[in-house]
Structure 1
Amino acid sequence: MPTCPRCHQAVDSQVVNCPYCRTPLKAFGHPGIPLHRATGDEPLCKTCTYHLDDSCTYPQRPYATECTLYQNIEQKRLEEEQRQKSRSPAVGLQNWLKRNQSLLLILGLLLVCFLIALSHV
């Protein structure tokens, strides 16, 4: 369960405002849009991918302490590393084998039937 950034009380993930201190937790009162907040004195922009590639349109840039567009650079790097690992041939073959187990079973049965037919000839 997430916690309020101001009072650190546990709150439901769908609440718009903290029930204890009334801090807004979602953007523009919408429960589907999270509102990211800086935890220290540093603005969010310094660690945001949108600021890094200069595609940010947020009006408070580069000093935003609250943002709905925020995407952490480190998180993106970790996701990219995971994608790179999953692209290796061994992992690709493993995934293919998992997805096509029934096809492999049918091919195996056909091979056994073919070998039995050859042994009776």
Structure 2
Amino acid sequence: MATVSCPRCHQLVDNQAISCPYCRTTLKAYGHPGIPLHRATGDGYLCETCTYQVDDTCNFPQRPYAKDCTLYQNIEETKLDLEQQHHSNGFAVNVKTWVKRNQTWLLLLGLLLVCLLFVIATS
């Protein structure tokens, strides 16, 4: 059983728990164990470090003073994930991107190659 710490009373609770059995703090949004509820720590707001605040796509009513949010996405974690993906799959991603970008030319080259082989085979 995986556990997490309650943000209010700091007791260990099941990570699927909807509310803390000790202090009754809501841990999951809308009473659903699959929807995490992100909470701000200290006096700060979640919006200060949220991707949706930075790109101005947030439509949360409590914006920019949200203390808890279901859609929160830390901008630093997002940047780090993108950087890791870029570095870990560098060559493979570059080849796939190049193939997608030049798909028409590759198909034409393949057709020319098939025609050339057909001409050589029938001569």
Please report the TM-score for the alignment, with normalisation by the length of structure 2: 0.71
State the one-letter code of the partner of 2:63: R
User: For 1:2-37, what per-residue CA distance to the aligned partner results, in whole angstroms no more than 9, with x for missing partners?
Assistant: 110001111101110000000000001111100000
Structure 1 counterpart of 2:35? 33
Name the SS for the 1:2 alignment partner: strand
Name the SS for the 1:78 alignment partner: helix
Match status 1:54 vs 2:56: yes
Name the SS for the 2:63 alignment partner: coil
Structure 1 counterpart of 2:22? 20
Cα distance in 2, alignment partners of residues 11 and 43 from structure 1:
24
Q: Compute the RMSD of aligned alpha carbons.
A: 1.7
Identity between Structure 1 and Structure 2 (%): 65
Greater strand fraction, Structure 1 or Structure 2: 2
Structure 2 counterpart of 1:68? 70
Gaps of at least 5 residues in structure 2 are 95-123
Among 78, 81, 93, the alignment partner of 2:80 is 78
State the one-letter code of the partner of 1:75: E
User: For 1:71-105, what per-residue CA distance to the aligned partner results, in whole angstroms no more than 9, with x for missing partners?
Assistant: 0011101101111102323898xxxxxxxxxxxxx
Please report the TM-score for the alignment, with normalisation by the length of structure 1: 0.72
Moved segments of 4+, more than 3 Å: none
